[in-house]
Structure 1
């Protein structure tokens, strides 16, 4: 296998859940060149995985031609014909054959196209679902956490950032997500932040473009927090690497913290952790009983992305601030000597 093109214009959490599968593909074809097509916002982070030779913007003209029945640009044909295999994780109902035919026409001999969104019933973890879509390529279906290493420049950025706050221990608190139905109440996060401040923990709150209202309300409700706004994903990863833990909803930011390796407490209020649990060796999940079938609890250890780790699932009737604060303190007391 010479060159492999992976097309996946997914959100941050989706991309991070795909990394173990892409790593397995790279392990199966160690001499192959892997290129990635997706959202440019994540390219800096993907460079830290050392999986890809090049990354390309999904919204460029070369890829827009794939979805036009008539467009046939020579530049696109020249680009695609160098690849032996294309793996396309993209929801395009009714257009799969048209897309495959066009990629074949452009010179890619083997094309695998799959909807990247698993069905809720029966629940299958997103990473395992993506693995099943390419199982014909792999000799083994054993997955391991993706390799991740910050560049020297990113490490220096994080060191310089925290020089402004000497002698502090830090926890990441992220109250947002891609959907309001996945969010634990913002007022509850404010209570957690205040409790951490009382215990002399510094709190780092990432704020994205759509979360400015969260910042304004948190500033009114809680004491000391450092807000980092619209920071590049790879720079957030660098800051997270110097923190002791992360608390957040089911979001790309929680998946990022888990990838970095810090203990990560994820609150599932509207999605099923059996499908969307982050990859990581220190992932702790609190889930409302309405988000996951109770029969899944007994077998959840088999569904966690990484087994034989400190990761755990706890199903509760309600995600009260008392329960969450108790779990946060438990995690911090168990981990702070390591960070």
Structure 2
């Protein structure tokens, strides 16, 4: 059996889909499973070769904002997909307004997904009120997969852990990740600066994490601090070593962004700050290990430092 799964989204969304991918693999252990996703997710899914047999870079498609596209690239992509002769196409990309049209062009014998209409044998009504992990799992009802496990996972390699050891960090440190995909999802940088000073005053080293394009943000926060901190954002760490850095920390403080889902997968304590999105959909499911705060004051976050971190 040949299965293709469409989920061409960013890091956090992809981590949230791992339980669904795991359930599909368990249900179809001998199937050849392909994943269509953003080209930037290729390195991530090299870690999940036990779930995915092939990673197929998404070309973009009219009406889907995740990638710019050219008509010629879309034509080549769809021709390649049709030549693969999939038995099943799974639309895990969203509510289906455009993505269902796309998977129908894959030429699979059967297509399933969410849509805005009533439930039928191949499509479920898109559920607006579920956590993202549970939403992905809910679709599997069509495949008669009962009670799939919502547990996240993020495999770390020896090389990931060695790279962190080579940084010679203290045995106890807290990671702060002040970036997010948009400015509106970021807590105030001065509050991060004061929070980092508070943690340092309590005798714990602060390590700032982020992508290379968040290095300027991190350096600005550090310049506003009274105490010293370690800037890991400027190192441009790949996702594996970055995750190992979080895994070896005492805990993570971050905005609603991809690393919050990595900390959940690693079962590492965290405080996740929400300023725009809904924690009901995006906060880690374990509310004891991970505390979600909506537009909190500095004192609200400080109050949780001892409890969570």
Q: TM-score, normalised by structure 2?
A: 0.81
1:92 Cα shift? 8.7
Number of residue-to-residue matches in the alignment: 292
Given candidates 230, 236, 253, the residue that maps to 1:226 is 230
1:200 is matched with which residue?
203
Q: Do residues 242 (structure 1) and 248 (structure 2) align?
A: yes
Q: Do residues 52 (structure 1) and 58 (structure 2) align?
A: no
**Gaps in structure 2 of 5+ consecutive residues:** 62-66, 117-124
Q: Do residues 322 (structure 1) and 275 (structure 2) align?
A: no
Three-state SS of the structure 2 residue aligned to 1:133 is: helix
Matches within 5 A, 1:17-28: 17-28=16-27
- What's the CA shift string for 1:221-262, capped at 9, x where partnerless? 112221223322122112112111001111112111221221
Q: TM-score, normalised by structure 1?
A: 0.75
Distance 1:254 1:124 in 2: 18
- What's the CA shift string for 1:300-323, capped at 9, x where partnerless? xxxxxxxxxxxxxxxxxx612122
1:193 Cα shift? 0.7
1:99 Cα shift? 2.5
1:67 Cα shift? 7.3
1:182 Cα shift? 2.2
1:260 is matched with which residue?
266
- What's the CA shift string for 1:77-115, capped at 9, x where partnerless? 57522x3222133359654564344212xxx21222447
- For the Cα contact (< 8 Å) 1:262–1:282, is it kept in 2? no
2:92 is matched with which residue?
89
* Distance verdict in 2 for CA 1:235–1:114, change over 3 Å: farther
1:142 Cα shift? 3.4
Matches within 5 A, 1:3-18: 3-18=2-17
RMSD (CA atoms): 3.3
Distance 1:79 1:283 in 2: 46
1:123 Cα shift? 2.7
Distance 1:4 1:45 in 2: 20
- For the Cα contact (< 8 Å) 1:8–1:88, is it kept in 2? yes
Distance 1:185 1:15 in 2: 27
* Distance verdict in 2 for CA 1:213–1:153, change over 3 Å: closer
Distance 2:268 2:77 in 1: 46
**Gaps in structure 1 of 5+ consecutive residues:** 289-317, 333-339
- For the Cα contact (< 8 Å) 2:91–2:100, is it kept in 1? no
Three-state SS of the structure 2 residue aligned to 1:136 is: helix
* Distance verdict in 2 for CA 1:114–1:65, change over 3 Å: farther
1:146 is matched with which residue?
152
